Structure 1
Amino acid sequence: MRLLSTKLLAGTIAGSLLVAAAAAQADRSEWPDNFTVGTASQGGTYFVYGSGWANLVANELGISGGGEVTGGPNQNLALVHTGDLALGLTTMGPAAEALAGNSPLAPGVAMDNVCALFPMYETPFSITALADSGITSISEIPDGARIGFGPSASTSDTYFPAILEELGVDFDRRNGGWTDLGGQLQDGLLDVIAFAAGIPIPAVSQLEVQTDVNIIEFTEEEQAQVLEAFPVAPFQIPASTYETLEEDARAVSMWNFAIAGCDLPESFVYEVTKVTMENNDRMQEVHRSAVTSVPENIDKNTVLPFHPGAVRWYEENGYEVPEERKLN
């Protein structure tokens, strides 16, 4: 009788395992065969972060995936919305504009097939000039100054010109990759570079090695004025970020979030979120800015609905997702 009971128990356990395995296989039946993460230009924080994140997810889930060079947040929103990319990286400002149909890439198109996955990091807005320019504050930027705002249609190019206009700066607008703009600043072809990028910015670190620079902070009044006018948050660039800084520098910032097509399978996005949120140490190995890529920061998304798969992971692990941030 005992032998029979043992056999029955073993059979029950084996059956349960087969059912679980079958369920897991069924869950994967609708998964994409591969995935691509939209990042930005090579050498920037987005490219490093996004490519490393894609590799982590691909390795953990046993599915082919990788990062792709794009034009940055605005293009990533458009490509995820249309389904040309499964995943991408964006900032909250461009996300709000895209959702409202005000994307510069597709005016009038409400990009409502874009869902948030998890918080990444804050992108500070900072200004750099050569020390011998004599520019030590925003108010000292001369009329007609040649200012590099980064790649066209990037977060920096979308918001920093408007921010400086709000502060009364008159300028000649220039675009390009950060490394190229750094070289132009050093060669005297630019007067200022207005960066919106994860810190430390490689181009600024390189400039510090080669020449003396001024990293220009916002005054308290300028910061308050910009906070009132734009979807940004107060930020302090730690003095330890750059050799040039002797103390923290006042700035503003915009949060970055990973995004996914809202129509992706819930089980797939759940597993992507699980891998990411439960391996922050490995995410920090990808890029040190991932120290803030933690579920406690999901409240920094005030724009996009979270994907149902991401919501399930957060709620299973004790994190509350506001009803207004859930997909209707």
Structure 2
Amino acid sequence: MQKITALTLAVTCAVTGQAYAESHVDRTDWPSSFSVGTASQGGTFFAYGAGWANLVADELGVSGSGEVTGGPMQNMALVHTGDAQFGMTTMGPAAESLNGTNPIAPGLQMTNACAMFPMYQTPFSVTTLASSGITSIADIPAGARIGFGPAGSTSDTYFPAMMEALGVEFERRNGGWGDLGGQLQDGLLDVIAFAAGVPVPAVSQLEVQTDVNIIEFTAEEQAKIIEAFPVAGFEIDAGTYTTLEAPARSVAMWNFAIANCDLPASFVNAAVDVVMSDNARMVNIHRAATETLPEHWDKNTVMKWHPGAAQWFKDNAGADIPDSMIHGM
């Protein structure tokens, strides 16, 4: 019995300080399970979201998982209504949802979805088969069949308008990233216009199976897009894909995890701590998480913070979040 007791004590002492602290948190109002709204399989949102859902579930001892959805617009709706406890969105779709212009529910201001933690930037990138001969935006022929991702996704919301601004005439196609990658390989699409954290799983898979061109914007095209849309300049690092021999000029938009504003503050605070306190674990889930860092809290200029999340960033990142940007204050 003494050996068993000693072993139990050793195991108990080996847990992290945070896990120990969590055992003293009142969990009576915590949900028994949670889901994270992600996007379609084959995209970065799904891989990243399913990963952090499993990590939080394991660390907190609460059943949780990532769920396939239509992406940022639908996630804002699901989290606002409470059909999903957590989700992931992009700043552009978040702003539209708060303003009541989310196409899923026009007129509904989705103010019950709160900021949780910064994820990463979403670059906008274009991929074609090398056999297409398309090596620039200007090369895309009139009437090209372009896959823009799931309907209502960040890519589908902004990339068609970007292409139009650059003078591209196209046929618009929608679908999951994995499906669109297969259609490109089968010759059913000419181009895929991705808005997803890099490396995009579907592009990495295509590289293994065939030769592709990852097309960058010219400096003039980049400047035109930045002027017209809520994005910033970005470079896709050459090491991101085997196809790239040099950094590729792009534009990007920040992504944030979101939480239903009515969730208990202690639960959200604990979930944020799991994700933000050990970046190496997140990078193991997806390389895009190299930007999932506490100092990027200030990239949210759109949504009100969940009180539990705001408290974590105040306590651990020195965040100066005004009360006016915290839900319920």
TM-score of the superposition, structure 1-length normalised? 0.89
**Matched position secondary structure for 1:234:** strand
Determine the structure 1 residue equivalent to 2:275. Answer: 276
Determine the structure 2 residue equivalent to 1:141. Answer: 140
Determine the structure 1 residue equivalent to 2:4. Answer: none
- CA drift of 1:318 comes to 4.0
Native 8 Å contact 2:43 2:202 kept in 1: no
- CA drift of 1:220 comes to 1.0
| CA distance in 1 between partners of 2:246 and 2:268 (Å) | 41
Determine the structure 1 residue equivalent to 2:12. Answer: none
Runs of 5+ in structure 1 lacking a partner? 1-20
- CA drift of 1:155 comes to 1.2
**Matched position secondary structure for 2:127:** strand
Q: Does 1:98 align with 2:134?
A: no
User: What letter matches 1:56 in structure 2?
Assistant: L
Determine the structure 1 residue equivalent to 2:186. Answer: 187
| CA distance in 2 between partners of 1:36 and 1:318 (Å) | 26
| CA distance in 1 between partners of 2:312 and 2:201 (Å) | 35
User: What letter matches 1:37 in structure 2?
Assistant: V
| CA distance in 1 between partners of 2:38 and 2:289 (Å) | 15
Native 8 Å contact 1:295 1:319 kept in 2: no
Determine the structure 2 residue equivalent to 1:204. Answer: 203
Q: Does 1:296 align with 2:295?
A: yes
Determine the structure 2 residue equivalent to 1:265. Answer: 264
CA-to-partner distance for each residue in 1:248-299, whole Å, 9 max, x for gaps?
Answer: 0000111111100111111111111122111222112222211111111111
Native 8 Å contact 2:41 2:177 kept in 1: no
| CA distance in 2 between partners of 1:319 and 1:246 (Å) | 39
Q: Once structures 1 and 2 are overlaid, which stretch shifts more, 101-110 or 236-245?
A: 236-245
TM-score of the superposition, structure 2-length normalised? 0.89
Rg larger in structure: 1
- CA drift of 1:174 comes to 0.8
Native 8 Å contact 2:73 2:152 kept in 1: yes
Tell me: CA distance 1:43–1:183, structure 2 relative to 1, closer, same or farther (3 Å): closer
Determine the structure 1 residue equivalent to 2:109. Answer: 110
Determine the structure 1 residue equivalent to 2:153. Answer: 154
Determine the structure 2 residue equivalent to 1:317. Answer: 316
Determine the structure 2 residue equivalent to 1:326. Answer: 326
Tell me: CA distance 1:281–1:209, structure 2 relative to 1, closer, same or farther (3 Å): closer
| CA distance in 2 between partners of 1:90 and 1:53 (Å) | 15
**Matched position secondary structure for 1:28:** coil
Runs ≥4 in structure 1, deviation > 3 angstroms? none
Native 8 Å contact 1:274 1:313 kept in 2: yes
Tell me: CA distance 1:289–1:318, structure 2 relative to 1, closer, same or farther (3 Å): closer
Determine the structure 2 residue equivalent to 1:17. Answer: none
Q: Does 1:223 align with 2:222?
A: yes
Determine the structure 2 residue equivalent to 1:11. Answer: none
Determine the structure 1 residue equivalent to 2:246. Answer: 247
| CA distance in 2 between partners of 1:273 and 1:205 (Å) | 29
User: What letter matches 2:302 in structure 1?
Assistant: V
Native 8 Å contact 2:295 2:317 kept in 1: no
**Matched position secondary structure for 1:209:** helix
Determine the structure 2 residue equivalent to 1:122. Answer: 121
**Matched position secondary structure for 2:282:** helix
CA-to-partner distance for each residue in 1:86-133, whole Å, 9 max, x for gaps?
Answer: 111111111010000000101000000011111111111101122232
**Matched position secondary structure for 2:150:** coil
Runs of 5+ in structure 2 lacking a partner? 1-20
**Matched position secondary structure for 1:121:** strand
Determine the structure 2 residue equivalent to 1:56. Answer: 55
- CA drift of 1:224 comes to 1.1
CA-to-partner distance for each residue in 1:37-76, whole Å, 9 max, x for gaps?
Answer: 1111223222221122112112221222111111111111
**Matched position secondary structure for 1:31:** coil
Determine the structure 1 residue equivalent to 2:36. Answer: 37
User: What letter matches 1:254 in structure 2?
Assistant: M
Q: Does 1:164 align with 2:153?
A: no
User: What letter matches 2:159 in structure 1?
Assistant: F
CA-to-partner distance for each residue in 1:205-239, whole Å, 9 max, x for gaps?
Answer: 23223332221111111111111111112110111
Q: Paired residues, what number?
A: 307
Tell me: CA distance 1:262–1:201, structure 2 relative to 1, closer, same or farther (3 Å): same
| CA distance in 2 between partners of 1:223 and 1:56 (Å) | 37
Q: Once structures 1 and 2 are overlaid, which stretch shifts more, 183-192 or 155-164?
A: 183-192
Native 8 Å contact 1:260 1:307 kept in 2: yes
| CA distance in 2 between partners of 1:92 and 1:256 (Å) | 6
- CA drift of 1:197 comes to 1.3
Tell me: CA distance 1:214–1:241, structure 2 relative to 1, closer, same or farther (3 Å): same
- CA drift of 1:32 comes to 1.2
Determine the structure 2 residue equivalent to 1:13. Answer: none
| CA distance in 2 between partners of 1:275 and 1:121 (Å) | 17
| CA distance in 2 between partners of 1:178 and 1:317 (Å) | 36
